[in-house]
Structure 1
């Protein structure tokens, strides 16, 4: 079954940051951020990702984030929940949570630290799909996991019906290097804003963007222009976004993105400073 029949995901998905206030989740700010993204024209929300500091969230915090974004999205755009960990059992548990909470799909990285190798990576996903039929996007990020999937591994995962997409992070195989049938059967996504246009032009389907937290409409317009064949407009938008992309850094650092979002007055990432009390006379 074609990937877009299982998961209708457009070209621009925002890797949504997770706002906190005084050390606790700020769900009101999260809901405002999610609504701003949807109003800005993005095609999806990715939550609990690296940009969202997902690995530091507790299970209850992750559930609250997913539930809030699903509620705000209201079916207008899909919500993708990052559920991958370095252990198969916990990945299964978080993926089941995401499905029960109403997310549209799970983004699952290869087990970091564990480094299971090619056969072990396939086994990890085989166990996952045996435990849930939830649509899965497999993340290949060798700079983070020290595992780089080979072509046979890509092919083996593509044969799993619930695997609907691949996130090809910087340092992994380019979209055009994959077998033609894989490019037709799967969503091919990138997570690097700086190369989003070139990735799309070489066979990619779209991007999970950290920078879209700040300028959702511009990032969405870039992808829409490129997919519509208006490359001159897409290049102009890419040039316009280049200073922001450079300032945020190649990794989409959560602290930098939250700092850039502060003027919107909808995102906090540290406790508010208060003047010390005046000593009694």
Structure 2
């Protein structure tokens, strides 16, 4: 349902810390103009953890309004509170979101049964296509393949963003439930390996600054042009890695600022990119002729 080159779009802030909606709308246009297939606001890269309820609604609404149906909008509405996730998800549906991205509950560290019941409750409460999001590095626990396979039986759970870094786990999901749930790469540097075994695309960080190139690689894979895809994958590895020289989204937002697309402000407890990391980022961006 949702496939191809998808962007986990950043949320720009003004100098006073408020959401810069004008810059955000310009970022949406930049993505659509460069071939991005799906917009994903209010994910990890969009600093969802420090957005208020009102700001969540503001960003999702702005994304939907600016996209004007040209590409789908999958709203990040996850929370470590099931009731809260349902509330935010209902708001996104009311505003016209095409789908939901739901991060696994963080901090609580639920059991696999707890994860199942969490996602089942949201699916039953909100009639929208839903993408599970497994990111152990952020949540403190891994959603096992068996749990994902079990959740695949729920009709409006349509995909999982796999950011566990475990290609074997993704392969198990595809082998046992690939006809019921799509796998999407949650790591730019694993897009090609995961798509090689059947994943349908990527929810990308790098696409914030290089949407055309990410789209080109995904399109090459989809068309079976493997030599071209492999060359693009290897060519982009350094920039993918540079997006994680410090905690996401600090490097990618800094990169977007260096390109003049928005400010580099992040919210505490995140801080601006440290000077040594900034120099490394500039060097890498220079090699890609971005600066």
Asked if Structure 1 and Structure 2 have the same fold, meaning a TM-score greater than 0.5 normalized by the shorter chain, the answer is: yes
- Matching residue within 189, 201, 204 for 1:206: 201
> Contact 2:217/2:229 (CA < 8 Å) preserved in 1?
yes
User: What does residue 217 of structure 1 align with?
Assistant: 212
- Aligned-residue Cα RMSD (Å) equals 1.7
Classify 1:147/1:247 alpha carbon distance in 2 versus 1 (closer, same or farther; 3 Å).
closer
> CA offsets, 1:147-177, max 9 Å, x none?
3223431222111111011111134453322
Matches of 1:10 and 1:166, distance apart in 2: 11
Matches of 2:172 and 2:183, distance apart in 1: 12
Structure 2 residue 181 is matched with structure 1 residue 186? yes
User: What does residue 18 of structure 1 align with?
Assistant: 11
Unaligned 5+ runs, structure 2: 267-291
Structure 2 residue 203 is matched with structure 1 residue 229? no
For residues 248-263 of structure 1, the aligned pairs below 5 Å read 248-249=243-244, 253-263=248-258
Matches of 1:140 and 1:66, distance apart in 2: 21
Matches of 1:204 and 1:227, distance apart in 2: 10
261-270 or 117-126: bigger deviation: 261-270
How much has 1:138 moved relative to structure 2? Answer: 0.7
Classify 1:251/1:10 alpha carbon distance in 2 versus 1 (closer, same or farther; 3 Å).
farther
Unaligned 5+ runs, structure 1: 272-281
SS class of match (1:65)? helix
> Contact 2:7/2:203 (CA < 8 Å) preserved in 1?
yes
- Matching residue within 130, 133, 139 for 2:133: 139
Runs of 4+ in structure 1 over 6 Å off: none
How much has 1:184 moved relative to structure 2? Answer: 2.0
SS class of match (1:178)? helix
Classify 1:251/1:121 alpha carbon distance in 2 versus 1 (closer, same or farther; 3 Å).
farther
Matches of 2:232 and 2:241, distance apart in 1: 14
Structure 2 residue 31 is matched with structure 1 residue 33? no
> Contact 1:79/1:103 (CA < 8 Å) preserved in 2?
yes
> CA offsets, 1:213-236, max 9 Å, x none?
001000000000011011111122
SS class of match (2:178)? helix
TM-score normalised by the chain length of structure 1: 0.89
Matches of 2:241 and 2:116, distance apart in 1: 35
Aligned length: 264
How much has 1:204 moved relative to structure 2? Answer: 0.8
For residues 161-172 of structure 1, the aligned pairs below 5 Å read 161-172=155-166
> Contact 1:51/1:254 (CA < 8 Å) preserved in 2?
yes
SS class of match (1:115)? coil
> Contact 1:117/1:147 (CA < 8 Å) preserved in 2?
no
Q: Which has the higher contact order (CA 8 A, sep 6+)?
A: 1
Structure 2 residue 171 is matched with structure 1 residue 176? yes
How much has 1:107 moved relative to structure 2? Answer: 0.6
Larger radius of gyration: 1
Matches of 2:220 and 2:245, distance apart in 1: 23
